[in-house]
Chains A and B, each alone.
Chain A
């Protein structure tokens, strides 16, 4: 009696451990959330999950448990989403609004319009349901394996298709899974074979080897050398394949790339952060320039000739030494897949350490680590720069001769450039007296309303088409590459040396680090901020940046501000005002454009059923899996029954009957009774018949026994057998 009680206690303890393992795995399901959302709601989710699992384990009356779970759910929702005070007027308004929005979204099936509150609500309900489901699965049925497999699949899918990193999660999973499998298996055996549970023996025979195996497996797995993946990352492959199947455009992932072999085509928005920068002023980040336009791509005509980077070595705009040095730091993030320095206009010094020495190419402005082993990613880089100080007047006066090495490189145009491009450019600049005015005229040409900024559905030029020609005369929609390339080509066609520059825009300001004596802001720059613009050569002044892309600003601000400050009494005050107005217009336009852009993206996403943002996948993924699990949990008997009966609609040969009979034995073992290996079939069949009040099992067994022990080689009346079989299966699965 005493032993019995101890045995039951031991079993209860193991069952509890099993359930705790289930909870830990459930938390692994939630852990991608932690990476993809803020941490505060995540903590609440975890607490809620623990609450639900605890309540379910305690097996309180279902009404009480339901009530507590609902209260917890409402508390979390209220705390995370609704305004204070509770039951205040704002609170009610918010609830009304949420209700309206979500009901509308549901009715219109606009799933992406569901609010965060509603999505969280669904998630919490799923967590509560999961606690029930796992209780049934792990404690009642003692079935562990399927759950573990599902968890591993989920985690690996999240790892592959989202930014979630599952390295540690996999290790945790491995450990917990092994423990759960062992405990589950042990409990099952105890139940089935009536084993006695002795703590000491169990400890010696199961726990110790288990710990050793887990430790060894984890240790070996963690420290063993791992080969590179055999397959390439499936995500880009899948997306490109899917796009090739659905559209004719070739989409590209936005971001800086060293390769511009192909201009044109749409691109996917990608918000992966590339670097973070602390800088006192907002400005673009330059990486390199390219000189040769082929009609389809940008190339470099010169070989890169590196020299070591000294202070002020790279002078894009000459004679700025009088300007004050400003300090900035750049920290590269994991998202940066290149190893070139991003730098502001007017770069003066870079803090080169022992671990990092830099070299640069004069022509393109590429700055790279000298040694292959060095990386810009290893630590934050401090640099200083001078904001260029130019005035409009200065630029207008810069009409001297252009050096030959500049003209030879930067007036290049493809031979088959259609004449209408040149004609258009000449028409635009015809009224303008100076190089500066001509440049501004071309820059402003795109702002006149004919052109639209758009990243989707951008065609790639055909072989006999010119990229610029296509954009200027046929499509008139495009993104920065279209605008900047077109401007360079038009400038060159009217004899103004210009080049195409790649880099990033200023990014999003995420923090204000200003102190009393110095302004300092932190910007986060993502792949989505990758950009291209134009530099125009002015004799004795250097390379001055221009921004033709509509909806973008921030590059010339430096230049215009300095003009304003430096030359207030300038005769072209009127023009300046106009420009300022232009700029304001530009900004408001930029906002509109941005909105349009977003809407367009959403529409396209809805059409092609591509998720606009990867973060939104997970609740639906979890939901889907849970739905399948729930359906399986509710209807599994029915599904199983159908499957078995469908499989055995007739028995042609003794082999068939043998297979079917043993499947039936397994089925029986799964649900009610397992035949002991030393029990005869007839004996077992009688037990079954008695248990369920049928006779079919004995009849079926009799036929099978004849095959076995009488060595009968054929089945006489297989339809009768099928009927018996059906009876038994339906009885046990009803």
Chain B
């Protein structure tokens, strides 16, 4: 079973990388977030392949793919769906919004109003939507990849900082390297590569994998390490509001998923250290002084990682 899933994961990753050139890290982290039942916030300029990544992921996993293009005039009901009166049955009938799907791309969420944003975020957090008092559960796999343009662009509504906590991971795509860009050009032409992609596994496999991720072992030693890291973010001078307990849980979940992807059934501190900036940085609210000093959440997390000792010893009975 284990070997098979491993091969599947490997195939998924290679499959996606046929389309997304040179973004192994982003791909892997996205998959990890998906397996950890979390959602990803991608922050980058348009045109670096955000949409392509999500579509490739959906296709490889044989999942449905919905895309919501956030605009300033988008209403919450455009996301969650509406109940409309059906003249034949003389009843209101729920019509699914685009959020109810397997893999959802929420494009440029900082272009829409906070009201609509929060509708999205609530759906993400609860894995359900409530329309006219009726709660509709969204089944796993449910994976939202939201993208936002860097906030200094004009005409944006920055996401409330507290809302950012809802995203398990925040990633940046970054521009490809020269070689990678060249390779992209050579691949373009004729049939779009995304069309050529075939599914590697199906939804049920994904759900099964999510269950397996849950069973990945994490030693109390590593748990303590996570807690120490998280608590230390609350002590840091540059931080106004540190990482919440939700952040700690998130870090543990991603660490398990990441270990699973790495073909390991236990979490090691290396996983935690690697993931901490992606999982924790966007959850910090820095002090104004720190912001003026151009300090970033990543820098703070790095400092915290340097301060906390890696557990390297335990009491054997």
Contact = CB atoms under 8 A, between A and B. Distances in A.
Contacts of B309: 677-678
Given A710-B265, A711-B219, A655 B316 contact: yes
Interface in B280-317: 305-314, 316
A705 interface: yes
Nearest to A676: B306
B316 A679 contact: no
A710 B269 contact: no
Given A653-B316, A654-B316, A658-B316, A710 B308 contact: no
A169 interface: no
Interface in B230-270: 265-270
Nearest to A711: B219
Given A654-B316, A678-B305, A683-B270, A709 B221 contact: yes
Contacts of A679: 310
Interface in B205-226: 217, 219, 221-222
Nearest to A657: B316
Contacts of B269: 680-681, 709
A108 B219 CA distance: 70
B268 A707 contact: no
B313 A658 contact: yes
Contacts of A706: 266
Interface in A652-699: 653-655, 658, 662, 665, 675, 677-683
Do most interface residues of chain B lie in helix, strand or loop, or is the interface mixed?
loop
A677 B217 CA distance: 24
B313 A662 contact: yes
B267 A709 contact: yes
Contact of B306 (A678, A680, A683, A705): A678
The number of chain B residues touching the other chain, given as a range, is 20 to 34
Given A654-B316, A705-B268, A708-B314, A678 B308 contact: yes
B308 to A, nearest CB: 6
A571 B313 CA distance: 106
Given A655-B316, A709-B221, A710-B217, A680 B267 contact: no
A654 B221 CA distance: 15
B311 to A, nearest CB: 7
Given A654-B316, A708-B221, A709-B221, A682 B270 contact: yes
B273 interface: yes
A680 B268 contact: yes
A627 to B, nearest CB: 39
Contacts of A707: 314, 316
A710 B219 contact: yes
B316 to A, nearest CB: 4
Max chain B C-beta neighbours (<10 A), residue from A658, A665, A708: A708
A677 B316 contact: no
Contacts of A655: 316
Given A658-B316, A709-B268, A710-B266, A678 B217 contact: no
A677 B222 CA distance: 15
Contact of B312 (A653, A681, A710, A713): A681
A152 to B, nearest CB: 34
Contacts of A683: 270
A708 B308 contact: no
B310 A709 contact: no
Max chain A C-beta neighbours (<10 A), residue from B265, B267, B310, B311: B310
Nearest to A704: B312
Given A709-B267, A710-B266, A678 B310 contact: yes
A450 B210 CA distance: 111
Contacts of B311: 708
Contacts of B310: 677-681
Contacts of B222: 709
Contacts of B308: 678
A675 B312 CA distance: 11
Interface string A699-729: 0000001111111010000000000000000
A708 to B, nearest CB: 6
A678 B307 contact: yes
Contacts of A708: 219, 221, 311-314
A658 B310 CA distance: 15
Given A662-B312, A678-B308, A709-B267, 13 more contacts: A654-B316, A658-B314, A680-B269, A681-B310, A681-B312, A683-B270, A708-B219, A709-B221, A710-B217, A710-B219, A710-B265, A710-B266, A711-B217
Interface of A: 653-655, 658, 662, 665, 675, 677-683, 705-711, 713
6 contacts: A654-B316, A680-B268, A682-B270, A709-B219, A709-B268, A710-B265
Sorted nearest first, the 10 A-B pairs with minimum C-beta distance are A710-B266, A677-B309, A654-B316, A655-B316, A680-B270, A709-B219, A680-B269, A709-B268, A680-B310, A678-B306
